[in-house]
Amino acid sequence: MAEQSSPPVAPQRRGRGRRPAAEVRAGVLRAATELLLSEGIKAVTFDRVATAAGSSKMTLYKWWPSAGALAAEAYFTHSEPILEFPDTGDIRADITAQLCTFVRLLNTDGTGAILAGLIGVAQTDPELSAAFSLHYSATRRALAMAAFERARERGQLRDDLDLGILVDQLWGACYHRLLIPDAPLTEEFAIALVDNALDGAGNRAAGTRRSVSGRMGRTP
């Protein structure tokens, strides 16, 4: 009697299933970032972001308390890799490079107007304000403080210097020109800020009076 062969078994098809949560979240942030950069903060609504990301509004509500909070995190996601702090051991060069990068970012593709819009809405939107502080402003401030702490440990800054005030003097001046545009926000302005601040705060014995502004054709 001939041996009967078993019928071929069709391979099981895997269902689409759910996307990993991290993938969904990253897709939502990408969609929110694209809307924020192309149309501004008013375009970042849960309806539009959910549609663009192929997600549900319920998912967005699970992760963000408001569309403003989502917009703030989207801005941080966009700016974080651009605004990394260099650490070459030369505080003047590092802060000058970082501050100039910040100024260039604000002058690119309407990014300054977007940041100004986020700051404006944060005055009346506590959820956006909290998200902006958590994901952006407090994070950026901590990185600047850490850079100055390292410089002080190397003897490049005075021991009695208030590092928080130094951060305010440098980045606060840039925000002032962003929000009150009576004068242009330029890289030359950023370099002058660093020179003025560090020439008053530096330890002269450590050579912090050496100015990088000469590269721009300015007299130290």
How many folded domains does the chain comprise?
A: 2
Average pLDDT over residues 2-18: 50
Q: Does residue 17 sit in helix, strand or coil? A: coil
Of the two residues 94 and 210, the one the predictor is more confident about is 94
Q: Which residue has the higher pLDDT, 219 or 212?
A: 212
Q: Which residues contact 75 (CB under 8 A, 6 or more apart)?
A: 33, 36, 114, 115, 118, 135, 136
Mean pLDDT to the nearest integer, 67-87: 93
Is there a single domain that holds both residue 29 and residue 131? no
| Pair (89, 194) in one structural domain | yes
Model pLDDT for residues 61-75, shown as the tens digit of each residue: 999 999 999 999 999
pTM: 0.78
| pLDDT of 213 above 60 | no
Bridge-partner residues for 202, per DSSP?
157
pLDDT reported for residue 206: 53
Q: Within a domain: residue 2? A: no
Residue 73 lies in a domain: no
pLDDT reported for residue 18: 72
Indicate whether 196 and 110 sit together in one domain. yes
Are residues 31 and 87 part of one domain?
no
- Within 10 A of 42 (CB to CB), how many other CB atoms are there? 12
147: domain CATH number?
1.10.357.10
- Percentage of the residues of the chain whose pLDDT score is greater than 70: 83
Look at residue 202 in the predicted model and tell me its pLDDT.
58
**What is the reported pLDDT for 19?**
78
Residue 72 within a domain: no
pLDDT score at 212: 41
Residues 130 and 203 in one domain: yes
CATH number at residue 41: 1.10.10.60
What are the pLDDT digits (tens) for 131-172? 999 999 999 999 999 999 999 999 999 999 999 999 999 999
Q: What is the mean pLDDT of residues 74-94?
A: 93
The contacts found for 74-81 with CB under 8 angstroms, 24 or more apart, are 74/29, 74/32, 74/33, 74/36, 74/44, 75/33, 75/36, 75/114, 75/115, 75/118, 75/135, 75/136, 76/135, 76/136, 76/139, 77/29, 77/33, 78/33, 78/36, 78/37, 79/105, 79/111, 79/136
Binning pLDDT at 50, 70 and 90, where does residue 92 land? very high
> For residue 113, what is the DSSP state?
H
| Residues spanned by the domain of 150 | 78-216
32 falls within a domain: yes
Q: What is the mean pLDDT of the chain?
A: 87
**Does residue 40 fall inside a structural domain?**
yes
